[in-house]
Structure 1
Amino acid sequence: MSLSKIVFLLFLLTNGRNCEEPRCSKYDFEEKVLEKMVRIEFQMERLKLEVEQCVNRVENIKTEVSDQMKTKQQELENGFETSMIEVGNVTSEVRAKLLELQNFKDMAVTPTVTFKARLNENTAVLGGRIIVFPTVVFREGGAYNTDTGKFTASVNGTFMFSIAFCVYIKKYFVVNIMIDGNNYSAPLIYGDDGRGCSSADTVAIVTAGQDVWVEAQTGSSTGDIIYQDKYRWNTFSGTLINRL
């Protein structure tokens, strides 16, 4: 072998050892960078998944809360409507009770119904005629008519009616307290030596709208029988004792 060939082989061997890849070559760096990028991408994917799961949980909670709020709102609305209905029912019951109490009060409280009327002068008495008392002494809540001589009851109730007459000496007549045509009292009024006065009364249950009057049963067609002056009054009176 020639010297030149030997030198060339030595050069190749020397350069072959010197051209081995060092440990910190660019390939090693790129491999490490690629490995880090893969790890980062994996972490990003995992983080993305966790974010998506978190967003889903938030959306689920939001939907759940919204549904609960709607349910509560509906319950409140239903409860309000129910409460309003109950309040309306209670209001109706209270009004009914108040009306009942008012009716009870009206029934419990006896109104003032009373009157008294008198004659103005000496009077003849004719049998079967109504004796009209033209002058009202007092009248409260009643309906005594000075034209007809009749009292008309305004309420149902128990009434007391009284009459008083003064007659001339030794004259007399029979008088009736009439209620809707029925006789409730028939006293004989007689004049003694002192021109005395007599009275009579009756208690009767009278219905609203019924009439009460004084009627002579027997009398004289000539001359005055009833005597009237400032000390002797001939009267017809009535008063409500109890409302029915």
Structure 2
Amino acid sequence: MFVDMRGNITDEMLKRSDEIKRREESFRTLFEETRENLTSGNEAEKEKIIKLQGKLEQPPIAFYAHHLKDLVLDTANEILIFDKTFTNEGTGYDTTTGLFTAPVGGLYQFVIHTCTLNTKYAYLGLVLEDRVTALHSHYGDANHSCGSFGAIMRVRSGEKVWVKATRYHSNYQLQQDSLRMNTFSGVLVSY
């Protein structure tokens, strides 16, 4: 008795060949999906990196202004104009108007330091777009008195920040000389 096994072997080989082809196709599909996911994931990461590089390439924003043009605070809502700067990175501070215009939006820190003449008062406010965000008052008793105040606040690109007299009278007066300096400074802390 002779059994012809060739047909069985051929059928088995065809089944295995079909299985191999099916697995190859499944592998190709999985490979293409993985490649597609990696490529799109890489593109998204690349875009994030480009945005971060853009932020890192932004110039620093900081100013430090001093020397007041007018020391008497006798005008309603008078803006204090510090007409000299030690630092004005980003050129946001204007020495002719006393206004800081944010070149970019972000979180900023502002500090104001002023000195009053003896027996005189000062009532001051830090203003962001017509909203007083910080207040300060001091009185120079028998001696000249100095004080500081400030705020950390979110400022949008193009918004303006300044220091103003919140109360006014001829008896409200600041002092500056070789021992006392009035200053207004700001720095971009974070985008």
TM-score by shorter chain over 0.5: yes
Aligned partners of 2:119 and 2:143 also within 8 Å: no
Which among 176, 185, 188 is matched to residue 237 of structure 1? 185
SS in 2 for 1:112: coil
Match of 1:153 in 2: 102
Q: What is the alpha-carbon root mean square deviation over aligned residues? A: 2.7
Match of 2:80 in 1: 131
SS in 1 for 2:82: coil
AA aligned opposite 2:65: A
Which among 138, 156, 173 is matched to residue 207 of structure 1? 156
Supply the distance in 2 between the matched residues of 1:238 and 1:231 (Cα, whole angstroms).
23
Which among 140, 144, 169 is matched to residue 191 of structure 1? 140
Aligned partners of 1:172 and 1:189 also within 8 Å: yes
Supply the distance in 1 between the matched residues of 2:85 and 2:43 (Cα, whole angstroms).
42
Which among 85, 108, 113 is matched to residue 164 of structure 1? 113
Sort the Cα spacing of 1:121 and 1:207 in 2 relative to 1 into closer, same or farther, 3 A.
Answer: closer
- State the TM-score, normalizing by the size of structure 2: 0.70
Q: In proportion to residue count, which structure has more helix?
A: 1
* Ranges of 4+ aligned residues in structure 1 off by more than 6 Å: 91-96
Matched, 1:101 2:101: no
Which among 211, 221, 227 is matched to residue 175 of structure 2? 227
Supply the distance in 1 between the matched residues of 2:84 and 2:144 (Cα, whole angstroms).
22
Match of 1:53 in 2: none
AA aligned opposite 1:117: A
Residues 129-185 of structure 1: CA deviation (Å, up to 9, x unaligned): 111111111111241011111000011111111111111112112111000111101
Once the two structures are TM-superposed, the CA of residue 112 in structure 1 deviates from its matched residue by: 1.4
Aligned partners of 1:122 and 1:228 also within 8 Å: no
Match of 2:125 in 1: 176
What is the count of residue pairs matched by the alignment?
A: 153
Supply the distance in 2 between the matched residues of 1:175 and 1:97 (Cα, whole angstroms).
47
Q: In proportion to residue count, which structure has more strand?
A: 2
Match of 2:31 in 1: none
Q: Which has the higher contact order (CA 8 A, sep 6+)?
A: 2
Aligned partners of 1:170 and 1:192 also within 8 Å: yes
Q: Which runs of 5+ in 1 are unaligned?
A: 1-90
Aligned partners of 2:102 and 2:160 also within 8 Å: yes
SS in 2 for 1:145: coil
Once the two structures are TM-superposed, the CA of residue 186 in structure 1 deviates from its matched residue by: 1.1
